[in-house]
Amino acid sequence: IDAAIAMAGKYNNRFKIVTLDGQVMNPGGSMTGGSVNKEAGILSRANELEKLTAREKELQDNKLVLEAELSEGLDKIRKAEDYQGLIKKDLKRLDAEHQAYEIRRKELNVTLANTKSVSVICVSAMAICMLTLLFFQFGLQMDSGIGYILTGLLTAGVLTFVFVRFRDASQELRRVNQAIQKLISLQNRVKIRYVNNTNLLEYLYTKYLADSGDELEKKLQLFYEEREERQQYERMPEDLSYYQKEL
């Protein structure tokens, strides 16, 4: 068309000039479009409309996929947060049990130390009593038979009591130590689950651009509200036409 305009100007618009695409330069400078160009324009607009329709459908499909992903993501985050709460409760309970066992282990260690001290004192007292009885018997020529019997019985009774208490405390201490080892092992496993679940939550928060399930739920609710408002706006011409007919 630029070449046709230039040529028409060269000959002072005295001749009719037709371009390859069907446009006509009439004498005097007027222009008319050829049938080829009109058909080409119609086909071009039809192709553009088809592309826009396909693009609209693609966007609609993507919106539905996004909505489904957000709903699924919210469900995953809620489950992970609930599981995180359960893990924290388990860790708190295990920590309380561990502390209780540690307190009991300290008490048993004190009991064992006390029974050892009592046994030493008992043996020392028996030795002193025996030396005293020997002094009475051989130094003062006194009959110490009953003294030996009473000292032996008293010492045997005290030592038996100390031995039973020491044995029971030792057995309980062994059970407490075993329980503490099991608790530590269980705590470590629960801590591993806690770390793994924490990493999962951080991944989900990053993926869905939220700091918590509540925040994502608010975003999803806002999305639903905006969609409803948009649908109402799209229905307004139909509603308006309907009410105009009714009137």
> What pLDDT digit, counting tens, does each position of 129-143 carry?
888 888 887 777 777
pLDDT of residue 40: 47
- pLDDT higher than threshold 90 for residue 93: yes
CA neighbours within 13 Å on the CB side: how many for 139? 6
- pLDDT higher than threshold 90 for residue 189: yes
Residue 79 region by backbone torsions, left for phi larger than 0, else alpha for psi between -120 and 50, else beta: alpha
Cα 236 from Cα 247, distance rounded (Å): 16
pLDDT of residue 95: 94
Cα 247 from Cα 209, distance rounded (Å): 49
Give the number of other Cβ atoms within 10 Å of residue 10's Cβ. 10
pLDDT of residue 69: 80
For range 102-128, the mean pLDDT: 91
CA neighbours within 13 Å on the CB side: how many for 203? 8
CA neighbours within 13 Å on the CB side: how many for 230? 6
The top-scoring range by mean pLDDT among 17-31, 181-195, 198-212 is: 181-195
pLDDT in tens, 16-51: 767 666 677 677 666 665 544 444 445 555 566 666
Contact between 220 and 78 (Cβ < 8 Å): no
pLDDT in tens, 126-175: 888 888 888 887 777 777 788 888 888 888 888 888 899 999 999 999 99
**Residue 118: which residues within 8 A CB-CB, separation 6 or more?**
158, 162
- pLDDT higher than threshold 80 for residue 203: yes
pLDDT in tens, 45-75: 556 666 666 666 665 655 655 677 878 888 9
Q: Which residues of 33-66 are buried (b: 16+ CB within 10 A; e: fewer)?
A: eeeeeeeeeeeeeeeeeeeeeeeeeeeeeeeeee
pLDDT of residue 135: 81
